[in-house]
Amino acid sequence: MVAKLLEFEIEVLAVSVDAVHYHILARFPDDQVKGPVGWAKKNASHDLTELGLPGTVWAKGCRPLPITGRRHQLNVFRYIAEHASKGACVWTFRDGVIGE
């Protein structure tokens, strides 16, 4: 998902994905969230199928919530990062660019 969002020049700060849900903290131009997230989910589904995990992975749509300030941004970042301790796959900008 991160790689596809970066292809769309979305500034991604953190992503977590687990068996039940995902979270993305990113800056989307002109508040256009659903299109890029939809493409990222479609790309991830294709990758999972290639790995031998066919079937429906994602629910339709997404529920974007705007960040209201710096404190909110930091809290959301921590919330997403903490999902790693619960078994989620977590990526943050601190991990570097995907594929490098």
DSSP for 16-70 reads EE-SS-EEEEEE-GGG--HHHHHHHHHHHHHHHHHTT--S----SS-------SH
- Domain residues for the domain of 41 are 2-93
SS3 of residue 98 by DSSP:
coil
pLDDT band at 49 (very low <50, low <70, confident <90, very high): confident
- Asked whether residue 77 is domain-assigned, the answer is yes
In tens, the pLDDT along 7-41 reads 999 999 999 988 888 999 999 988 789 899 989 88
- Asked whether residue 19 is domain-assigned, the answer is yes
- Asked whether residue 100 is domain-assigned, the answer is no
- Asked whether residue 98 is domain-assigned, the answer is no
Domain total for the chain?
A: 1
User: What is the model's pLDDT at position 1?
Assistant: 87
- Asked whether residue 99 is domain-assigned, the answer is no
- Asked whether residue 40 is domain-assigned, the answer is yes
Which region, left, alpha or beta, applies to residue 47 given φ > 0 means left and ψ of -120 to 50 means alpha? alpha
Are the C-beta atoms of 36 and 64 separated by less than 8 Å? Answer: no
